Amino acid sequence: MDVVILGASGYGGGELLRLLAGHPHLHSVVGASRQHVGKDIGSVHPNLRGVIRGSFVEAPDWIRLAESDCPVLFAAMPHGEFARQLPHLEQQWHAAGLTERLTVIDLSGDFRLADGAGFTQSYGGEHPCVDRLGSFVYGLSEWRRTPLAGARRIANPGCFATALQLALLPLADLGDACPGWVAVSAITGSSGSGASASDTTHHPTRANDFRAYKMLAHQHEGEVRRTLAEEGAAIEFAFVPHSAPLVRGIFATLTFPAPGLSRNTLRDAYVARYDAARFIRLVDGTPRVAAVVGSNFADIAVEAKAGSACVMIAIDNLVKGMAGQAVQNLNIARGWSEDLGLAIAGAFP
């Protein structure tokens, strides 16, 4: 056994199972789900029938995982749950001889922020284990390769946070033309709310609707501001997310005043940062959600006219915004090629 996925029955866990099935260095993956113990994985994730064999387990066998040359844990649980369980899990890892060897990647928001106050502001409530917050490397893959190399504890970014940071950060390279304030409008599909239906994700109430939510108060804003500060990017932003009649995908548009800024100059800032990035594609015109769904790619386009400029980005919220970036971070941490398990195009149309 090489990999354990906690929360494997959710959308993020299902995408991890799908992507890891094609990873050349990881040959045995075990999915844990208390809700679906004993159920065939393909019965919960029907796209994995004939691809992933086996059933969900209630709890991992850490002794067996310790036999692997590269033991990995992905935690794909609701916010707060992994942090609540972590002290007990660490005792089990110690008993199994995994403490220094296990690569842990948390897909929730539990360890993305630097302190308990930031967590409370973003997610509400007290953090279950504040003393562990500083032990996780923030895994924005394209901007954190050096600290990620060799990391054993990684906090995966949020889906909106991934899109916003990839689009915002190169603006700091514009020098005097860097905007001090950016307006951000972004849409997301229903899968971003998880596998459990709610009033806002239930098909009859969402399919023919379009609305804003958590205006100027989305929980991912804190991690974006943290990264901007760490990168020395003096950029403020106002973020309004929208719920769209899509299942998958995020499309964000950044607009800002840009007197004297040409499209070529703006585009050059993104080329300089991302030309060698395996999963960033700079496109002309507009990105398209349909072109990235199912893939780990982020498509970015820019425009500048008449004293204004915009940056647009499209990602799959479940892949580049979640499971795909988690696999990319694992590859970086282990010193493998970044695209292992991820060298797949999106499904189009």
**Looking at residues 52-77, what average pLDDT do you find?**
96
Q: What global pTM score does this model have? A: 0.96
pLDDT (0 to 100) of residue 1:
78
**Looking at residues 214-232, what average pLDDT do you find?**
97
- The Cα 173–Cα 330 span in angstroms is 28
pLDDT (0 to 100) of residue 202:
75
- The Cα 160–Cα 224 span in angstroms is 9
Q: Where are the beta strands (DSSP E) in 69-128?
A: 72-75, 103-106
Whether 206 shows a pLDDT value over 90: the answer reads: no
- Count Cβ atoms below 10 Å from residue 29 Cβ, excluding itself: 21
Catalytic hit among 70, 129, 159, 310:
159
pLDDT (0 to 100) of residue 99:
96
Which are the contacts of 80, defined by CB distance < 8 A and separation ≥ 6? 108, 110, 123, 125, 128
* Strand 308-315 relative to strand 250-257, pairing: antiparallel
Whether 194 shows a pLDDT value over 90: the answer reads: no
Mean of pLDDT over the chain: 96
pLDDT tens by residue, 239-268: 999 999 999 999 999 999 999 999 999 999
pLDDT tens by residue, 150-173: 999 999 999 999 999 999 999 999
pLDDT (0 to 100) of residue 197:
66
Q: At what angle do helices 221-230 and 116-123 cross, to 10 degrees?
A: 140
Whether the CB-CB separation of 62 and 6 falls below 8 Å is answered with no
Instruction: With cut-offs at 50, 70 and 90, classify the pLDDT of residue 74.
Output: very high
Query: Both tokens of residue 38?
Result: 């004993």
Query: Both tokens of residue 43?
Result: 């019965």
pLDDT (0 to 100) of residue 291:
98
pLDDT (0 to 100) of residue 203:
77
Which of 39, 27, 341, 189 is closest to 8 using CA atoms? 39
**Looking at residues 326-335, what average pLDDT do you find?**
99
Q: Which residue has the higher pLDDT, 245 or 199?
A: 245
Which are the contacts of 230, defined by CB distance < 8 A and separation ≥ 6? none
Whether the CB-CB separation of 333 and 149 falls below 8 Å is answered with yes
Query: Both tokens of residue 163?
Result: 């899109």
pLDDT (0 to 100) of residue 195:
64
Is residue 159 part of the annotated active site? The answer reads yes
pLDDT (0 to 100) of residue 201:
72
pLDDT (0 to 100) of residue 58:
96
For each of the domains in the chain, give its residue range(s) and CATH number, in order of start: 3-135 (3.40.50.720), 160-317 (3.30.360.10)
pLDDT tens by residue, 282-301: 999 999 999 999 999 999 99
> Which residues in 312-326 are b (16+ Cβ under 10 Å) and which e?
bbbbbbbbbbbbbbb
Whether 136 shows a pLDDT value over 90: the answer reads: yes
Whether 196 shows a pLDDT value over 70: the answer reads: no
pLDDT (0 to 100) of residue 87:
97
pLDDT tens by residue, 118-128: 999 999 999 99
Instruction: With cut-offs at 50, 70 and 90, classify the pLDDT of residue 116.
Output: very high
